Structure 1
Amino acid sequence: MPATALDLAELEAAATHLRSYESLFLPGLFQVEGYTRAIFEASDAVSTGEEIEAAVRFRRARQGVLLGEQPPRVHAVIHEAALHMLFGGADVMREQLLRLVELAELPHVTIQIVPFTAVAVSALTTPFCHITSHDSALGTVLMEHPARSAYLHGDGDVAKYRRQFARLSEAAHPAIDTTVIPVKHATRDSLGLVQHILYTLQGAST
């Protein structure tokens, strides 16, 4: 695995809070195997089948942090565009969206969806993850770029992305909440949007 991937796994393992924004992909910690494999098959980061399988196994191993004895609090804000990207096809995406709902039931996981209709929020905003450990007020920001990922540690940079995450969260629908009776869902919430896309995918896979 590249050094940036190993660094990320180490940071996640020691984290107390992870705040992630994704515009076209779902967070790596949430991905089902078929979704992850489809991403790597379409990527230039790995080339051989052996490398793809190693990358998939590594990402799956990283996900163990969510189920540990002291898991970090994870808050993910995901743009609606990511829910429409059919990595692996309609059946894989249905599995993936159902996995999102399942993870949202964990007490330490919060998932919000930014709709296309959100004001002043671009689907092309660069994905990032704000990682804090030991209750640090600042921490580290991972900036994900197709060519090369980068880590920001400066107080000014980290504070800037913390503010940006807060704005994105405010623009997003309320978090997925499976405890609410379906008929009582507001017309605009994260779970309602996911369920609508799942219904659409059901038609695409039949």
Structure 2
Amino acid sequence: MALRNTPTERQLRLGAELRKLREAGGLTVNEAGDVIGMGRVHLTHVENGRTAISAERIRTLCRTYGVTSSTYTEALVNLAEASGKGWWSDYRRQLPASALDLAELETEATCLRSYESLFLPGLFQVKGYTHAIFEASDAVSTDEEIEAAVRFRNERQRILTGDRPPEVHAVIHEAALHMRFGGADIMHQQLLHLVELAELPYVTIQIMPFTAVAVSALTTPFCHLTSHNGALETVLMEHPARSAYLHGEDEVAKYRHQFARLSDAALPAIDAAVIPVRHAARDSLGLVQHILYTLQGASA
């Protein structure tokens, strides 16, 4: 079997997990390979995500490494057996691999927690807002590339209306609500859509106000994803040059804690069911409504 030149994030993750387990179990590559009848070089390629491994061998390695969680073991098997093909495959020649990796990861996610400082989360964006972002971006240049990127982001949003939607919790800095991508009319449409999404029972949206205390406004945006029945966690740091996927236990714990701090500091979540006059204190919905009022005046 030919070696993969560019492993996907899923394939790299499987290899990294198997290497982590082997090292924690105190086995060398030679010793672990002997257990499953695989040579040192072959197993090294597996741990680097460059070649496949069977489900039977994964289960054998997990038993050898002392893994006691069947949920975790089956999560690794799922990573190995997944075809990597989905709706995102149609964009393989149009968009970078990092975008396809994110779409594949989101389809397996059971929980997404994100923090955004200048943009609204991609899963929440209306078409006009997304189009304006890509028009101003250096990541795409031609009209065809822009349209492909917009369609791709729109298709990603289907996980919110699918049969098994993930739990989504977003903390959005107030600055993102004032950035006028597409102008006042588009932003008015976008903020109304934000309120509509918050009505979904599995979507929680909080706004971090400029007045928040003890939380840096410069905190780097990130997304924390939980997948495979909670067995795997990933933190995505998106950058123009290259997105970074973090899954080390210490790294994940750091961002899990960071998100909890951000959520505690943010305003109470948008709840369109609460009658405005009964709001006991300033909340996320009240702030969004205030900005909507300002946008109405700007577009009048």
Per-residue displacement from partner, 1:166-185 (whole Å, max 9, x unpaired)?
00000000100011011112
Q: CA deviation at 1:134?
A: 2.5
**Structure 2 letter corresponding to 1:104:** A
- 1:152 is matched with 246
Per-residue displacement from partner, 1:117-164 (whole Å, max 9, x unpaired)?
001222221110000013326500000223321110111101100000
Q: Distance in 1 between matches of 2:99 and 2:282?
A: 36
The farther-off stretch of 13-22 and 122-131 is: 122-131
Paired residue secondary structure (1:139) = strand
Q: CA deviation at 1:188?
A: 1.1
Match of 2:125 among 31, 41, 56: 31
Conserved in 2, the CA contact under 8 Å of 1:40 and 1:46? yes
TM-score, normalization: structure 1? Answer: 0.98
**Structure 1 letter corresponding to 2:153:** R
- 2:214 is matched with 120
More helix by share: 2
Q: Which aligned pairs between 1:1-206 and structure 2 lie closer than 5 A?
A: 1-136=95-230, 139-206=233-300
The farther-off stretch of 195-204 and 144-153 is: 144-153
The list of structure 1 runs, each at least 4 consecutive aligned residues, that deviate by more than 6 angstroms after superposition, is none
Q: CA deviation at 1:187?
A: 3.6
RMSD across aligned positions (CA):
1.0
Per-residue displacement from partner, 1:53-95 (whole Å, max 9, x unpaired)?
0000000000000000110000000000000000000000000
Paired residue secondary structure (1:16) = strand
Per-residue displacement from partner, 1:10-38 (whole Å, max 9, x unpaired)?
11111000001000000000000000000
Q: Distance in 1 between matches of 2:275 and 2:235?
A: 37
- 2:69 is matched with none
The farther-off stretch of 185-194 and 196-205 is: 185-194
Structure 1 or 2, whichever has the larger Rg, is: 2
| Count of aligned residue pairs for this structure pair | 206
TM-score, normalization: structure 2? Answer: 0.67
In structure 1, list runs of 5 or more residues that go unmatched: none
Q: Which has the higher contact order (CA 8 A, sep 6+)?
A: 1
